[in-house]
Structure 1
């Protein structure tokens, strides 16, 4: 049997904007997603917007009951900044009531809430001032974080500041998958700098309050970088890509500084962000207690063909490589590479002082899952169970070799709204039946994971009768 520690955190992850619904109810103000959907609903799959997600604002007790049914002991979600502080200043009592009731319901059922502060849902009032490009966003976020700690610190002992900061930087300022849909490398770097400074200021706000007695970290999507070949040019591309996509974040939050080599790369292309005196000390003095790692697929790179400098994109240093042997999730298009979870695990052990970390997201999205529904209405998602088995086997190997991993959370618990993709791809242990009053229904993976939790492990390929229901 592949075994895990008895105190291991088993759970799932999601976010407020992807599950709560009630997007403008009870005093909540609009986020960028609310306004974007209002302006261009045709860009969203089936024109399903952020008000029509999984209805957790009204049905959270049903979800918590299912968490208990699965014997999960932890769950990560987020607070909506726009709900707690609709104008950035004024506390919304209805939001406080909702979140306290939601978190207490989890605690009463043996589920530890792990709460993240920002999951891509920039308040519209702040976006109108420049969003993360504006220096004032740093202090606005620090105030929001301080408010959340004060309102919920008695219930929440594990906090995260940001989920996947790379995503809102890359997708919003070097692509069109997030608002504001611009392509400007220098602006993207300024957004990244302010995001990481806001993170450090939130950690500072947590640490300076003597009543906060838990731990605080950040959730990073880490795709281990593999080179096309051992050729020096390909290896150099791998090294530069690792600096940009991995070390720029992990070094900063875990060691307290940006890599000097990265700073020089940006300086040579006149891409350095605007900073002010005293910023460096904020980073140095506010390293995290843990790192959450979201792992889905690796990053494969090769040397650029005709690099242009000054750099206009990361492609000046490395370009993507389509590995011909890769295995693809046919339902989503992403590479399935379980070994990558081991690579990241050992990286945390060997390069970052074996600091505590956990898998905060891992999973597979599938379009058209209803085709796998049996006569009892249960989705027979054997493909997801196999995906979990493969990744957990590599994670167990890393733990056995000393990597300080304390938990595994799958994305996600019940199917959630996935931004522009809405409900196109399903990820959950439970199905959300939106046309049937958001009814939750079982998938086979929920039975399988329940047994893993109770046995502290699993045997590859083995299914009990309960798992085959």
Structure 2
């Protein structure tokens, strides 16, 4: 998950919330049948649809073997911040700094997944999900960021992987989802070139323990977001700023990813699948000014291509070469350009850019087209952008196997008279993005699976616990799990391999 702002989003968000409430307060009578009945009104309610009117009553059938799952991240759900030898992470440091997170929330307890993982695995299994992308907390494995492994930290992921396999769920470990050991940040973190080797060593430790059972390995989650919000404009841990810090963080993550891929490939089993996860969002100029076209192209290079192009083409975008040149040493680009078995795509919306001389690269977020609807985070709802991005991978990056490894939305929910947690807006959002996936597959995109973000309401970074992305409510006092209407709806999609229209 990431955070960004759109000018004017707050007013649109209020209107969207009002619309979502009028939809979601309709009675759910239980399970997917009731949810499907509600979905039938989605177009009239203004959510929009990619379905063709000629086949509006026919479910969108996905290919045999299409993988349905969910994604989470360690700091956002695990809690147990000091249990069993875990060291502090940069997000522990930031969240305990007054004023850095809304309500001064922290991930100390989060969703208490560390202690309740069996309950959460059961929720996934009951929903019919067949894959779970979770992240490994580097500070649990190496509390000081390097050196010998902490056996108790590895033991937790052993238990989790075994629990998943017992319930027929494929484990998809992600080696890094933003919770860098604070001890490594004290040595420069992602601005220190040595981190590429530290990360490769860590990857070998984790895969050496879990690789006899876990076969699908994700290197990094959203390196561009780490670099932009953690190192360029601030707000995310470690809360650095500046163009040089951004470039160093991008290049060293790219290099660490390449080193880890190479190291795992050298020792790995033949049935391992190695990949990574990027946040890739089509960038559009905000309406009203032709100069915004240049801003959009520049931000596309910064957010998207600075990770895609080195991995697939062995080069940085032309508009950024001067910025990266001082960081590149002989052999770097060859080390970064590693073959991968799959690419994970995290998609939430398009990005709309305006020219801003004060921006990190001369751009900033601007208004979306008139009439755009927004989630409770103020993010545009644009399922067509997901289709566009999948087609871009088809046409410009070799049509590699792709999994949507994050897609979801923050919407309010409430407990209705029947005792169910209602969240109709989320169902509409997921439904229309799945229809975009279905359309892209029909048009030749090599899409193999979809992981919804996310299973549980969690610690949403700088927003603390104020935003709710989960299919399942988590009571902040008792940690009780309460599945929402979207949980039942998505579960029936996974079980039937089709999306009702």
Normalised to the residue count of structure 1, the TM-score between the two structures is 0.90
Q: 1:290 aligns with which of 332, 342, 346?
A: 342
Aligned length: 442
Preserved contact between residue 280 and residue 347 of structure 2 (Cα < 8 Å): yes
Q: Is the 8 A contact 2:375 2:381 kept in 1?
A: no
CA contact (8 A) 1:153 1:212 kept: no
Q: Which residue of 1 aligns with 2:76?
A: 18
Q: Give 2:122's aligned residue.
A: 65
Taking a change above 3 Å as real, the CA distance of residues 271 and 357 of structure 1, as seen in their structure-2 partners, is: closer
Instruction: Call closer, same or farther: CA 1:412–1:348 in 2, change over 3 Å.
Output: same
Alignment correspondent of 2:105: 48
SS in 2 for 1:208: helix
Name the structure, 1 or 2, with higher relative contact order (CA <8 Å, separation 6+): 2
- In the TM superposition, 1:378-389 aligns within 5 A as 378-389=420-431
Following the alignment from structure 1 to structure 2, what is the Cα–Cα distance between the partners of residues 197 and 398?
Answer: 31
Corresponding residue for residue 451 of structure 1: 492
Corresponding residue of 2:179: 121
Change (3 A) 1:24 1:108: same
Aligned to 1:416: 458
The 1:319/1:326 distance shift into structure 2, 3 A limit, reads farther
2:386 is matched with 341
1:300 counterpart residue number: 352
Partner in structure 2 of residue 258 of structure 1: 316
Which residue of structure 1 aligns with residue 138 of structure 2? 81
Q: Does residue 320 of structure 1 match 2:362?
A: no
**C-alpha displacement at 1:233, in angstroms?**
4.3
Deviation at 1:229, TM superposition (A): 6.2
- The question of whether the paired residues in 1 share the 8 Å contact of 2:94 and 2:100 is answered with no
Among candidates 265, 276, 279, match of residue 332 of structure 2: 279
- Measure the CA separation in 2 of the matches of 1:29 and 1:15: 17
1:146: how far off? 1.1
- For residue 435 of structure 1, give the secondary structure of its aligned residue in structure 2: coil
Contact 2:434–2:499 (Cα < 8 Å) also in 1: no
Show the counterpart of 2:480: 439
Please give the alpha-carbon distance, in whole angstroms, between the structure 2 residues aligned to 1:42 and 1:320: 23
Listed as ranges, the gaps of 5+ residues in structure 2 are: 1-58
1:354-433 equivalent positions in 2, closer than 5 A:
354-367=399-412, 369=413, 372-433=414-475
Q: Is the 8 A contact 2:287 2:369 kept in 1?
A: no
User: How far apart are the structure 2 equivalents of 1:326 and 1:256?
Assistant: 40
CA contact (8 A) 1:162 1:219 kept: yes
Match of 1:467 in 2: none
Equivalences for residues 74-153 of structure 1 within 5 A: 74-87=131-144, 88-153=146-211
Asked whether the 8 Å contact 2:250–2:307 carries over to 1, the reply is no
Residues in 2 aligned to 1:224 and 1:393: alpha-carbon distance in whole angstroms: 18
Give how far 1:328 is off.
3.0
SS at match of 1:387: helix
Residue 178 of structure 1: CA displacement? 1.5
- Deviation of the 1:231 alpha carbon: 8.2
Contact 2:411 2:423 in 1 (8 A): no
Aligned with 2:325: secondary structure? coil
**Pairs within 5 Å for 1:138-217:** 138-211=196-269, 213-217=271-275
Distance 1:288 1:330, change over 3 A: closer
CA contact (8 A) 2:284 2:350 kept: yes
Taking structure 1 as reference, are residues 186 and 326 closer, same or farther at Cα in structure 2, changes over 3 Å only? farther
Is contact 1:430–1:440 with CA below 8 Å preserved after alignment?
A: yes
Report the aligned-residue RMSD: 1.9
What TM-score, normalized to structure 2? 0.84
Distance of 1:124 and 1:231 partners within structure 2: 43
Distance 1:275 1:355, change over 3 A: same
1:79-98 Cα shifts (integer Å, max 9, x gaps): 01100111221211111211
